[in-house]
Amino acid sequence: MAMYFYYMMFIISLVIIVVYAFIFNKRFDANLTIMVVLIPVINLGFLFMGEAKAIEEALIALKLTYIGGCFVLITAMFLIFNICKIKLPPWLRAIIVTINILVFCTTLTTGHLDIFYKGIPDLAEAGGASYITNKSYGFMHTIFYIMVGLYYLVTVGVIVYSFFKKRQVPRTILLLVVLAVTIAVFGFFGSRLITHEIEILPATYNLGMIIYLIIATRLRLYNTSEAVMDSLIQKGETGFVSFDNKVRFLGSNDIAKNIFPELKDLVIDSKAESNEWVNKNIISWINEYKEDESDDKRLIEKDNKVYLFQLNRLVIWKFNLGYQFLITDDTANQEYIKLIKNYNDELQKEVEKKTKSVIEIQEKLVLGMATMIEGRDNSTGGHIKRTSDCVRILADEIKKNNIFNLTDEFINNIIKAAPMHDLGKITIDDEILRKPGKYTPEEFEIMKTHAAEGARIVKQILDGTDDVNFMKIAVNVAHFHHERWDGSGYPNKLKGEEIPLEARIMAIADVYDALVSKRVYKEKMSFEEANKIIMDGMGKHFDKSLEPFYLAAKPKLEEYYLSLEK
């Protein structure tokens, strides 16, 4: 009866190999393959032991059975480490395997030395099968038991740790692993409590192996990257091309060859540079990829289609052994992107058109307000346009020797902002604003409020506009064009570079126009008189660093004002 059991266990282990070969996937853990191969060998050992007619034959069979304790256990432990996504350092793996090999070597001394077994045990028979009795263990057998127990404890510790700490390890898998380990523990230690005449270990090995096969098959569902890759291959719309590190052609699938027939001309293990198309589109890219691995996607057009090439390292056992291209038809996606882009371009043009219209309305509104205010003031008219032109002339000279790094945008913005510099005067009462004579101290204090009020009004008008830079410059021009370099100006008594550059430029243009223009309360000054006042104000009223640009602009300013008299 016992022999039938051993034969059945051996046959089951062979069936497990057949099933494993049928479901085998190259991504199965290598430890699983080792276990599948070893278990029939172990079961064969138990079968030979049952058939042994002499103690010498039984001892040879016994040595085969110890393969289970010495090697199946550590491969199972390594498998569980991998399942739980806990990496063991390669050097630690090597040490553990070396220890197990040394322990197994001591089992081979049975019948010769007293290291593993003391003396030679007896051979008995029960149920038609032989078994070894009267065993006397040596010190290495004790070490063997300690080693096995330690592996079980480590394995259980890993499972418990992963159950509570590893959220990315499937709980179903952990429960199956617990079942497999429990069966192994019972087979190794508990079977002795049932009987000494028949070994239950073959059954526990087979049952545990069946559970591990279920685990391996189940794990493929959780490996999303591999599942996606398998799905792409099965779908038959993805091409693959591989090269080694020396850019020798390793192969491609039929999908890639159908898309790019040029690949059919390549010879396996041969350099690919000779093929012009491959050299241009593939080899040159690999050479660039070696320098910059961020360049891993490209689009290649062929036969009115657009293909997406994705370049990756060809990694096997953590070694970079070459390069692999993933090819997919991206035509529909690119057409959609093109459609969206065209739509966005048209939308952008429409937005820019509407924005430009809104800005023009704002500018006209501001200019109209400035003109209305100018009509209330005692200027002779034209102050708004003249100061804008003066600002333009000064800014052009500054830009020629651009120590301030002025942009065209800045210059355009300050010219557009110039008409807004006196908008605050709309809040000043006519009795003060139109007074022909000199202001009293009280009236001058009221008059000075037009700067801050102008900044407030400009901000209210332009608030919400997309052109934030223009709004900032316009507000500064209105707010600070009466500030003085020495800090004696108003409204905030800013000093030196505390005053924004646009306000410093505006101050020169504003004062210059006031000096050379006729007002109801004064005659215009000559260019020489105006120039003297401006130059005397450099470093006091005006920014001294603007002096060379004013002097460079002076001839053009005089020419401009002379042209207005014609």
At 380 the pLDDT is 45
**CB-count exposure of residue 58 (10 Å: 0-12, 13-18, 19+):** buried
| CATH 3.30.450.20 assigned to 228-329 | yes
Architecture of the domain delimited by 346-564: Orthogonal Bundle (1.10)
Please answer whether residues 42 and 65 qualify as being in contact, where contact means their C-beta atoms are separated by less than 8 angstroms.
yes
Backbone angles phi, psi at 269, to 5 degrees: 70, 10
In sequence order, what are the beta bridge partners of 242?
251, 324
Backbone angles phi, psi at 87, to 5 degrees: -90, 130
> Of 158, 161, 149, which Cα lies nearest the Cα of 185?
149
CATH 1.10.3210.10 range(s) for the chain read 346-564
The length of the chain, given as a count of residues: 566
Tokens 């459609």 correspond to what residue? 339
Neighbouring C-alpha atoms within 13 Å toward the C-beta of 299? 11
Please answer whether residues 187 and 205 qualify as being in contact, where contact means their C-beta atoms are separated by less than 8 angstroms.
yes
CATH of 2-222, one of 3.40.50, 1.10.3470, 1.10.238, 1.20.1070: 1.20.1070
In the chain, the amino acid numbered 548 is P
- Residues 6 or more apart whose CB falls under 8 angstroms from that of 126 comprise 2, 197, 198
Kindly state the tokens that stand for 372.
Answer: 């209305």
Round to whole Å and give the CA distance between 454 and 479. 6
Q: Supply the DSSP string of 481-512, one letter for each residue.
A: TT--TTS--SSS---GGGS-HHHHHHHHHHHH
Cβ atoms within 10 Å, residue 517? 21
CATH 1.20.1070 range(s) for the chain read 2-222
Instruction: Provide the b/e sequence for 478-508 (b: ≥16 CB within 10 Å).
Output: bbbbbbbbeeebbbeebeeeebbbbbbbbbb
Please answer whether residues 487 and 495 qualify as being in contact, where contact means their C-beta atoms are separated by less than 8 angstroms.
yes
Round to whole Å and give the CA distance between 50 and 52. 6
CA distances from 537 to 90, 527, 555 (A): 81, 15, 19
In the chain, the amino acid numbered 70 is C
CA distances from 106 to 70, 140, 466 (A): 11, 7, 84
CA angle 180, 45, 117 (to 5 degrees): 95
At 499 the pLDDT is 94
Sheet holding 305-316, edge to edge: 249-252, 238-244, 319-329, 305-316, 297-302
Please answer whether residues 387 and 414 qualify as being in contact, where contact means their C-beta atoms are separated by less than 8 angstroms.
no
Q: Helices 55-67 and 30-51 sit at what angle, rounded to 10 degrees?
A: 160
Please answer whether residues 239 and 256 qualify as being in contact, where contact means their C-beta atoms are separated by less than 8 angstroms.
yes
Cβ atoms within 10 Å, residue 320? 10
At 520 the pLDDT is 62
Tokens 């241009």 correspond to what residue? 280
At 287 the pLDDT is 80
| Helix (H/G/I), strand (E/B), else coil: 434 | coil
pLDDT tens, per residue, the chain with 566 residues: 688 888 999 999 999 999 888 888 777 788 888 888 888 998 899 899 889 899 999 899 988 888 887 888 888 888 888 888 888 898 999 999 999 999 999 999 988 888 998 888 888 887 788 888 888 889 998 998 888 888 888 888 888 888 888 766 777 777 787 787 778 777 766 655 565 567 888 888 888 888 888 877 776 655 555 555 555 555 557 888 888 888 788 888 888 888 888 888 877 777 766 677 777 777 788 888 877 777 788 888 888 888 888 888 887 656 778 888 888 888 888 888 888 878 777 777 776 676 666 666 656 666 666 666 665 555 545 787 888 889 999 988 888 877 888 888 888 888 888 888 888 888 888 788 777 777 888 888 888 898 999 899 888 887 766 678 888 998 999 999 999 999 999 999 999 999 999 999 999 999 998 898 876 666 788 999 999 999 999 999 999 999 999 999 999 999 988 888 76
- Residues 6 or more apart whose CB falls under 8 angstroms from that of 363 comprise 416
Kindly state the tokens that stand for 558.
Answer: 């005089």
Please answer whether residues 31 and 75 qualify as being in contact, where contact means their C-beta atoms are separated by less than 8 angstroms.
yes
Kindly state the tokens that stand for 435.
Answer: 């007074």
CA distances from 532 to 446, 484, 487, 505 (A): 29, 17, 21, 18
Round to whole Å and give the CA distance between 185 and 156. 11
- Residue 137 DSSP symbol: B
Round to whole Å and give the CA distance between 181 and 157. 12
At 317 the pLDDT is 59
